[in-house]
Amino acid sequence: MRHRLSLFVCVLALTSLLIPGSAALAARIIVTVDGIHSNQGTVYIGLYSNSAEFLNGGHCTAYRKVPASTAPITVAFDNLQPGTYAVGAYHDENGNGHLDTSPIGLPVEGYALSNGIRAVFAKPQFYQAAFTIGAGDKPVALHIRY
């Protein structure tokens, strides 16, 4: 009986290594943001894992808030499941906590989205900015434009 219990514990431990979501399958997205034209305010970097969250107010899977800098800024999103994601960043230069827009809804503060997507006539869609990650690190470069 003791031998069966030991065997069960070993099998359970080995199985946990193969289950999605284990540390062995964790991914990391490393985002570098450049193009910020002043050290005023804050830069928000958002991670999106689905279209319902994407550019939908303050909804995102995770975010980082860092002081603005004209030097490149690098942040990481750790322990992610392999899958499809998008990232975006904006320079909240006036420090009011949100991306300011014009009367017709276009951004008036600097921003960037993964894959270089920009708002032209309509809000960009998740699939346009999305990329797939597996296990390991995925570098993403964002260039803020105003």
Residue 18: per-residue pLDDT: 40
Looking up residue 31, the CATH number of its domain turns out to be: 2.60.40
Residue 104 pLDDT > 50, yes or no? yes
In a domain, 4, yes or no: no
Q: What is the DSSP letter of 101?
A: B
Q: Which amino acid is at 75?
A: V
pLDDT category, 24, cuts 50, 70, 90?
A: low
In a domain, 10, yes or no: no
Q: Which of 55-59, 69-73, 99-103, 107-111 has the lowest mean pLDDT?
A: 55-59
Containing domain of residue 127, as a range?
A: 25-143
In a domain, 17, yes or no: no
Listing from the earlier edge strand, what are the strands of the sheet with 73-80? 73-80, 27-34, 136-143
Q: What is the mean pLDDT of residues 14-39?
A: 73
Nearest to 108 by CA among 123, 92, 95, 124: 92
